[in-house]
């Protein structure tokens, strides 16, 4: 019994050896089995690299002086260099713009300013010379090409050190077939590797310019890449094999090859043992508590676990193969043993899973029952709620299926087995929960649609619950905003009705008041007993009330035309500074009588805008009159005009004599006055008219109220 319990471990260990040997043959056999190091791809690459580096540094070096003498400059290159930054005018304008701000900022520092001007003029003169003198341009191009050759020669220093150091194990005896010049290094008599170059075996071709350098391609384009042919021998002396420079690569190849041979032999022996001596017994992996637990879990989880374990086992076997093939140091034996033990463990788990699945589902009834109890089947039943809205359900599942298939397909295409260790846990713990979240959101979507239907019926009392930050939650939030918007619209409609009522009341009041006075004093004038003094007094009142009535009617017509857009602007260039000064001068007498102190901040220079002068005068006049009427006695009024960038800004600030309340926007309403008792002579249309004129000009008008501080800001684009 004691020996029997070790049989499963021995059998799995033998199978692991067979699998490792098979992987080595499949993955690395082509490179090592039956191959010698000096005919391997690895060595061919080293030899090619040596020839590529030795050519331009030793065998066929570039003479920088001669190379510079070979430089030619074509007329096309001259034209391209000349026009690379545009035409003559464009380049001069660009230089002037570059120095304009710097020279302006250097005012007061004459030496620095003079240096900048001198530097600018020198560049402009150089540009002019580029366009007038081909030789001047040619010299520049030649200098650039010579600099490239110098850069290339500096880069060759590192390559030259590699040839003598890193590739010092190569010996050679080569003769230039064109010049007869001979190059020798090292001993060729006792060589472990030799390669002959002659007319029969092919001559060695060596280029003068190395493309492995940064400047190599450009230098080859300047002077061409001269090729020389050599005959002779390149060899590796036997003594170099034992040198520190080369022995590692040579012996690594041999050790890797012999390791593969050893595993092939072990694999054959292990396979023979499994087939003929230690035959497989399924009872090793069944009838214990682990198999009972495994058989009890759902079938879809079994499929996932066996797939995950198969991928992990494959990745670990590949890694173990690499450890045995490429780490040949004695200190790595513990690492190899650990990798081999991990491989045995995961191969054993995979065999355990396969044996139990096959044994359990030989009975088709058990298979059908497990399929009915699977997580996938129950998930399918749960999808019924998703299809309360069939279109959204199908689209959602389809999109998620495409996304998952794309991700899995990408994994297959790139075939990176070690990445499966990361991918599969991500699938289990991210993608799978995402499916559950999707189902939950589908139900949430149906709830949203039900509430939206109630909203459509006019039932706005219920708000949609917002869950998380998903697109559906955002959709719910938008529907809530829509609900709030409808409620706000209803509120605005009620407000509009209130304002309409107030408008009718205010219009009736403001028109009736002067009209009543006119009727009353007209009746009084009919009295023949009136004295001349009384008659003149009544006529004066009639005239004032008539003018008041005329002003109200004209303002009402103006607002109506502006609101309907039925008005034409006669725009022209207007100096806003002069216009404001005239408007203030027009009301100078009223300002003096009001007892208010006007503080005017008006620029000395013109501020020009493209406006209808008459209409813009109306804006300034209305705002100044508004300030005179509604400013608290004995306080200051601040009037400011300034230019901010591309806009002119006109500001009026004052302390109001009446409480304004919180709703500033209503001050723009027609017949809306700060004097709610309507004791002043204002029509209530001043700000509304000003706002309409500003809007017609593409400007902005803003009112700010902070307690009793009233501020109007008007902005308009300037020319």
> Where exactly are the structural domains of the chain?
4-28+248-372, 34-245, 375-456, 568-717
Which pair of structure tokens corresponds to residue 497? Answer: 């009705």
Instruction: Please identify every stretch of the chain with a pLDDT value under 50, giving residue numbers as ranges.
Output: 1, 244, 385, 388-389, 405-406, 409, 413, 666, 668-683
Q: How far apart are CA 512 and CA 545, in angstroms?
A: 11
Q: Report the sign of the C-alpha dihedral through residues 55, 57, 61, 65, in that order.
A: positive
CA 207 to chain centre: 46
SS3 74: coil
Strand partners, 717: 647
Which residue in this structure is represented by tokens 């529907």?
479
pLDDT at 165: 81
Q: How far apart are CA 330 and CA 337, in angstroms?
A: 12
Residues 6+ apart with CB under 8 A from 670: 503, 556, 559, 684, 685, 688
pLDDT at 186: 86
What is the tens place of the pLDDT at every residue in 119-129?
A: 899 988 988 99
Q: How far apart are CA 314 and CA 346, in angstroms?
A: 9
CA 599 to chain centre: 51
Q: How far apart are CA 169 and CA 242, in angstroms?
A: 10
Which element (helix H / strand E) includes 184?
Answer: strand 182-185
Enumerate the H helices of 63-215 as residue ranges: 64-69, 75-82, 88-105, 110-132, 134-164
CATH architecture of 568-717: 2-Layer Sandwich (3.30)
Q: How far apart are CA 567 and CA 695, in angstroms?
A: 12
Contact 17, 270 (CB under 8 A): yes
pLDDT at 599: 93
pLDDT at 654: 93
Which pair of structure tokens corresponds to residue 189? Answer: 């008599």
From the list 83, 66, 73, 217, the residue with the least C-alpha distance to 142 is 73
Q: How far apart are CA 696 and CA 558, in angstroms?
A: 13
Q: How far apart are CA 538 and CA 530, in angstroms?
A: 10
Q: pTM of the predicted model, to two decimals?
A: 0.44
């Amino acid at each position: 019994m004691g020996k029997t319990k070790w049989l499963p471990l021995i059998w799995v260990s033998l199978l692991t050896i067979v699998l490792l040997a098979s992987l080595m043959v499949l993955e690395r056999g082509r490179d090592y089995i039956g191959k010698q190091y000096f005919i391997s791809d690895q060595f061919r690459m080293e030899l090619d690299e040596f020839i590529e580096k030795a050519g331009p540094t030793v065998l066929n070096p570039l003479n920088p002086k001669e190379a510079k003498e070979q430089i030619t400059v074509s007329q096309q290159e001259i034209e391209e260099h000349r026009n690379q930054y545009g035409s003559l005018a464009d380049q001069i304008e660009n230089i002037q713009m570059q120095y304009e701000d710097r020279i302006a900022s250097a005012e007061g520092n004459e030496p620095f300013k003079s240096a900048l001007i001198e530097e600018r003029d020198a560049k402009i003169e150089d540009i002019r010379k580029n366009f007038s003198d081909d030789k001047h341009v040619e010299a520049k191009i030649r200098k650039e090409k010579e600099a490239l050759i110098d850069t290339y020669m500096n880069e060759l220093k590192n390559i030259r050190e590699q040839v003598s150091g890193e590739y010092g194990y190569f010996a050679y005896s080569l003769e230039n077939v064109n010049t007869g010049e001979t190059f020798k290094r090292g001993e060729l008599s006792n060589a472990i590797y030799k390669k002959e170059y002659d007319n029969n075996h092919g001559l060695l071709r060596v280029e003068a310019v190395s493309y492995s350098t940064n400047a190599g391609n450009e230098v080859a384009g300047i002077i061409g890449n001269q090729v020389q042919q050599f005959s002779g021998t390149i060899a590796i002396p036997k003594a170099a094999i034992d040198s520190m420079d080369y022995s590692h690569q040579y012996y690594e190849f041999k050790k890797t090859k012999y390791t593969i041979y050893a595993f092939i032999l072990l694999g054959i022996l292990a396979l023979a043992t499994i087939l003929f001596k230690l035959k497989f017994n399924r009872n090793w992996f069944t009838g214990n508590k682990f198999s009972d637990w495994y058989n009890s879990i759902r079938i879809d989880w079994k499929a996932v676990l066996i797939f995950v374990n198969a991928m992990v086992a494959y990745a670990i076997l590949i890694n173990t193969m690499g450890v045995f093939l490429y780490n040949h140091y004695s200190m790595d034996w513990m690492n190899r043993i650990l990798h081999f033990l991990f491989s045995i463990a995961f191969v054993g788990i995979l065999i355990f899973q396969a044996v139990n699945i096959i044994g359990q589902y030989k009975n088709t009834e058990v298979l059908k029952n497990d399929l009915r109890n699977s997580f996938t089947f129950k998930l399918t039943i749960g999808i019924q709620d998703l299809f309360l809205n069939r279109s959204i359900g199908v689209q959602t599942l389809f999109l998620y299926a495409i996304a998952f298939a794309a991700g899995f397909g990408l994994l297959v295409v790139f075939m990176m087995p070690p990445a499966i260790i990361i991918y599969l846990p991500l699938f289990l713990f991210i993608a799978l929960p995402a499916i559950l979240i999707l189902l939950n959101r589908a139900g949430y979507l149906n709830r949203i649609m039900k509430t939206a239907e109630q909203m459509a019926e006019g039932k706005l009392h219920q708000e949609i619950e917002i869950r998380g930050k998903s697109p559906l939650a955002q959709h719910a939030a938008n529907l809530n905003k829509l609900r709030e918007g409808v409620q706000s619209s209803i509120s605005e409609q009620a407000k509009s009705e209130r304002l309409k009522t107030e408008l009718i009341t205010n219009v009736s009041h403001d028109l009736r008041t002067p009209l009543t006075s006119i009727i009353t004093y007209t009746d009084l004038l009919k009295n023949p007993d009136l004295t001349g003094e009384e008659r003149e007094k009544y006529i004066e009142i009639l005239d004032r009330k008539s003018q008041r009535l005329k002003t109200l009617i004209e303002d009402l017509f103006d607002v109506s035309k502006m609101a309907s857009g039925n008005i034409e602007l006669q725009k022209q260039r207007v100096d806003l500074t002069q216009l404001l000064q005239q408007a203030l001068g027009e009301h100078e007498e009223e300002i003096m009588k009001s007892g208010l102190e006007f503080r005017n901040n008006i620029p000395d220079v013109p501020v020009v805008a493209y406006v209808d002068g008459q209409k813009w005068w109306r804006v300034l006049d209305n705002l100044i009159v508004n300030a005179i009427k509604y400013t608290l006695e004995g306080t200051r009024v601040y009037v400011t005009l300034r230019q901010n960038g591309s806009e002119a800004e006109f500001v009026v600030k004052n302390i109001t004599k009446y409480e304004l309340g919180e709703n500033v926007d209503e001050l723009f309403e027609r017949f809306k006055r700060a004097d709610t008792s309507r004791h002043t002579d204002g029509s209530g249309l001043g700000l509304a008219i000003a706002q309409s004129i500003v809007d017609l000009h593409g400007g902005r008008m803003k009112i700010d109220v902070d307690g009793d501080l009233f501020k109007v800001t008007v902005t308009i684009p300037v020319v």
